[in-house]
Structure 1
Amino acid sequence: MTFYDRDDELTALNTAFKSSGHAFSVVYGRRRVGKTALLKEFCSGHDHIYFLAAQEAEHRQREKFVEQVADAFDDRIPRIDGWDDAFEYLGEKLATDTVVVVIDEFPYLVDENDSLPSYLQSFVDEHLQDTDSMLVLCGSSVSTMESEVLGHESPLYGRRTGQLDLQPFSFQQAREAIGYDIGDAIRSYSVTGGTPMYLTLFDYDDSLATNIQTRILSPTAVLYNEPEFLLRTELRNPARYMSILEAVALGHTTPNEISGATGIDSGPLSKYLQTLRRLRLIDRKIPVTASAKKSKRSRYHVADEFLRFWFRFVEPNRSSIEEAPQVVFEGTIEPNLSTHTARTFEDICQEAIWEGIRQENLEPYSEVGPWWYGETEIDIVGLAPGDDRILLAECKWTNEPVGHALVDDLRSKTENVRWGSPNRDEQFALFSKSGFVDGLENDLGSDWTLFDLEDLRLLFSR
């Protein structure tokens, strides 16, 4: 599999290893986000020990770890009675050699022995810190990594020298892997999202329709059961969580709507939502002008495009897909894919605004996000408090060019956004899949910026 992007993360790991003294890095993030691929790429340039933990008995985990260490140093496998002995043995070897030591899926070891962080604390304090070697702990269970490695109560707290919270690819990063033109790339991204494994399972010599039918709707395809597998590895009883994700994917975004769609009372629901947020499966959004702590106008969204696609189109139609996948695609997915993509397009346009700010094509804004109040919504609003400047933008994934009607509509909404002074500087932007009617740009002043798909392609390729 081709290794894509992650240049910044590789640089951070290499810099940490090459700096004087020891290094202790923590790499964590959702499953399938590419942590193992990143660490293997990093290790390929250095003397290293790479240990991938498995869900098995503690004594087998320990035996395999010691075998890996002995093999790396061409040594006889010693007799080891506990993890303290295992790390003592590793410490002896690092006293004379500079090595990268990676323990991948560290949470599996903690599941079998919750004293592992204490043993590692002793190893770091008594052995690692006197070397130029590097220890990397990696895990997909975000909750375990945050509590057992990064948390205040962990014996390892304060000992790490660096950490990487690995995120899915943004659209701009994913473009390297998506072999379609800009329009189909956006459609495809709305299906796979930025998770590297999902991106690379598609064959971009095939059409998007073919990829959906063969890589997702086929009961033998990896992605057909992927979300269910993902939840079962994180949660003991995933049924209610799946019903919440399906409700959110189908457009029930407020707590009251989710409760009504799932039949889960508001008390228990809040705990389920909190767990899904901790697992990074849903996001809580508020209007960009509101306070994150005080606002009661929260909306929830599925945090991954592929999960949103799967819970919207696959999970509700599992029985029909088993019998007639092509009928489901042609009758349910294909007619509604444009609506599904429109939601993704808004996120991509928000990404484009940040990129435009970085490239100095747009004025700087410190906060960018959606805005709504009652029935009035604006796709993207940017705030620059220091300059008393606001950006208001709309995104249209439609087959018709955008004209004056959208301009007038956006202007009419501006007075509803109560932010800044009465004399604030108002800037506007429009994003359109199908471009703009002839002469629109000439009719607008310098406070308007228009983006069609070609503009986005150029922006993201710089």
Structure 2
Amino acid sequence: MDKKLISDFFHLNLPRDMEQCIELFAIFGGYDTPIDADAPIESLITQHILEPFELHRERFLSSLQDNPLYLNLLHAIAVGDRRQGSAYRRARIGKERGNEAFEFLRYSGYLTLERSREMPLERAHPKQRFKKEIEHHKISHKYRFKFPFLRFWFAFVEPFSKSIQEGNYLPFFAHFHERFNAFVGFTFEELCDLYIREILAPRFKNDLLDSGSYWNREVEIDLLTETMEGETWVGECKWTNHKVNKKELRHLEEKCVKLSIAPDRIFLFTKRGFSNELNDLKDKRLFRFSAEDLSVLTDRP
């Protein structure tokens, strides 16, 4: 995620707060026409996406040559966990064709690669064997869309292209209202990682070796940061309408135990704040942030 992308979006559209900004950015991030941030989100989608559907579709699909291979893979990445293996399975393509398709989509400006930091298995001796599911596990990288508007299109719009072309928006909006809140969670996670890199690292006077999500065969952590100073930071991002409680912290700490990590700092990011119990918790490693704290990324006055 590029800081300029969120900053430009904010100054172009001037949303009233960061919760609204993040929700609209998850849809229109990278869309360079101003929107009325005070209008209902359904009206904005209708005016800027559904009514000019054919114009957007020509822009997004012209370089894909109507190849269903590319369309299926883009949709699979937009709605799935973004891992290579699961995206290929969802798109019903093999690894070789999937890798070729990704290279085309990366070259064409649709996708980027997020490399896994999982380490290969270490065997005590060459003939050591692990359980079947461990032996068969393959390290898998993840894919990211270049900007949020692209991801939104292939997650929500393109699958309903036929009914949208017919002027029937009801199936689209039914799907949108059911899935959108969960969809925003990944955009929130990307912005939280940006906040760590752009704001927290300088604040704590640390240089970063690596930062982003971490996943392996057993565990996935929203944010795992390693610094040049030898520190390890972990973070959890919750885009939910309820306050985050102590249970979420314990769950993150359990993941750290599985990875044999003793984090130097723990970051919790939330949409709607924290429970009293979690707010009262005294732990020098623990830092709590709300969506509004991310406003510094927009360079607003």
Name the TM-score class by shorter chain. Answer: 0.7 to 0.9
Aligned equivalent of 2:9: 174
Cα deviation, 1:407-459, whole Å, max 9, x if unaligned, reads 1111111123356xxxx662100000010112423313111111012222256
Query: Structure 2 matches for 1:206-221, cutoff 5 A?
Result: 206-218=39-51, 221=52
Secondary structure of the corresponding residue to residue 312 of structure 1: helix
- Partner SS state of residue 444, structure 1: coil
**In the TM superposition, what whole-angstrom CA distance separates every residue of 1:348-396 from its partner, at most 9, and x where no partner exists?**
1111111223651574433111001223111001001x42210000000
Contact 1:431–1:450 (CA under 8 A) maintained in structure 2: yes
Distance in 2 (alpha carbons) for counterparts of 1:352 and 1:390: 16
C-alpha distance in 1, partners of 2:13/2:202?
Answer: 23
Shift of 1:226: 1.8
SS class of match (2:224): strand
1:368/1:382 contact within 8 Å kept: yes
2: CA distance, partners of 1:450 / 1:168? 21
SS in 1 for 2:275: coil
Structure 2 residue 300 is the aligned partner of structure 1 residue 450: no
Q: 1:415 to 1:267 in 2, by over 3 A?
A: same
Q: Alpha carbons of 1:289 and 1:365: their partners in 2 closer, same or farther (altered >3 Å)?
A: farther
Instruction: Tell me the residue number matched to 2:132.
Output: none
SS of 1:202's partner is coil
Match of 1:260 in 2: 89
Match for 2:292: what amino acid? E
User: CA offsets, 1:65-108, max 9 Å, x none?
Assistant: xxxxxxxxxxxxxxxxxxxxxxxxxxxxxxxxxxxxxxxxxxxx
Residues 23-172 of structure 1: pairs in structure 2 closer than 5 A:
169-172=4-7
Q: Which runs of 5+ in 2 are unaligned?
A: 121-137
Match of 2:148 in 1: 305
Contact conserved, 1:282 with 1:301, CA < 8 A, in 2?
Answer: yes
Deviations 1:141-179 (A, max 9, x none): xxxxxxxxxxxxxxxxxxxxxxxxxx7943234221132
Question: Does the Cα contact within 8 Å between 1:287 and 1:369 map onto a contact in 2?
Answer: no
Query: SS of 1:170's equivalent?
Result: helix
Q: Deviations over 1:181-204 (max 9, x none)?
A: 2111101110012x2xx1424233
Q: Distance in 1 between matches of 2:205 and 2:235?
A: 12
In structure 2, the residue matched to 1:375 is 218
The aligned amino acid for 1:260 is R
Q: Tell me if the contact between 1:399 and 1:434 (Cα under 8 Å) persists in the aligned partners.
A: yes
Q: 1:75: which partner in 2?
A: none
Structure 2: distance between partners of 1:298 and 1:325: 37
- Aligned equivalent of 2:126: none
Secondary structure of 1:369's match?
Answer: strand
Give yes or no for contact 1:352–1:460 (8 Å, CA) kept in 2: no
Please tell me the residue identity of whatever aligns with 1:231: L
Cα distance change on mapping 1:443 and 1:263 into 2, 3 Å? closer
Secondary structure, aligned partner of 2:37: coil
More displaced stretch, 253-262 vs 443-452 = 253-262
1:231 corresponding residue in structure 2? 61
Q: Which has the larger radius of gyration?
A: 1
Residues 248 and 258, structure 1, Cα contact 8 Å, conserved in 2 = yes
Root mean square deviation, CA, Å: 2.6
1:391 aligned counterpart, secondary structure = strand
Counterpart contact for 1:288–1:367, Cα < 8 Å:
no
Normalised to the residue count of structure 2, the TM-score between the two structures is 0.83
**Larger CA deviation: 395-404 vs 316-325:** 316-325
Bigger drift between 184-193 and 328-337 goes to: 328-337
Q: Could you tell me which amino acid in structure 2 is paired with residue 211 of structure 1?
A: L
**Contact conserved, 2:3 with 2:194, CA < 8 A, in 1?**
no
User: Deviation digits for residues 91-128 of structure 1, max 9, x if unmatched?
Assistant: xxxxxxxxxxxxxxxxxxxxxxxxxxxxxxxxxxxxxx
Query: Residue 186 of structure 1: SS of its match in structure 2?
Result: helix
Secondary structure of the structure 2 residue equivalent to 1:296: coil
- Are residues 458 and 335 of structure 1, via their aligned partners in 2, closer, same or farther at CA, if it must alter by over 3 Å? same
Distance in 2 (alpha carbons) for counterparts of 1:325 and 1:185: 28
* Alpha-carbon shift at residue 241 of structure 1 (Å): 1.4
Match of 2:245 in 1: 403
Letter in structure 2 aligned against 1:258: A
- May I ask how many residue pairs the two structures share in their alignment? 281
Alpha-carbon distance in structure 2 between the residues aligned to 1:376 and 1:328: 35
Q: Deviations over 1:220-274 (max 9, x none)?
A: x1x5542443332x35454321221112112163333333333333222211111
| CA shift in 2, pair 1:172/1:445, >3 Å | farther
Q: 2:36 aligns with which of 203, 210, 215?
A: 203
Question: % of aligned pairs identical?
Answer: 25
Find the partner of 1:245 among 71, 74, 85. 74
| Cα separation, partners in 2 of 1:455 and 1:255, compared to 1, 3 Å | closer
| 2:246 pairs with 1:417 | no
Distance 2:240 2:177 in 1: 15
Q: 1:239 to 1:201 in 2, by over 3 A?
A: farther
* TM-score, normalization by structure 1: 0.56
Stretches of 4+ aligned residues off by more than 6 angstroms: none
User: Which one-letter code corresponds to 1:365 in the other structure?
Assistant: L
Find out whether 1:393 has 2:235 as its counterpart.
yes
- Cα separation, 1, equivalents of 2:140 and 2:248: 25
Whole-angstrom CA distance in 2 between matches of 1:169 and 1:227: 25
Matched-pair contact (CA < 8 Å) for 1:216–1:224: no
Q: Which runs of 5+ in 1 are unaligned?
A: 1-166
Q: Secondary structure at the match of 1:383?
A: strand
Q: Deviations over 1:53-76 (max 9, x none)?
A: xxxxxxxxxxxxxxxxxxxxxxxx
Q: Secondary structure at the match of 2:74?
A: helix
Higher relative contact order (CA 8 A, sep 6+): 2
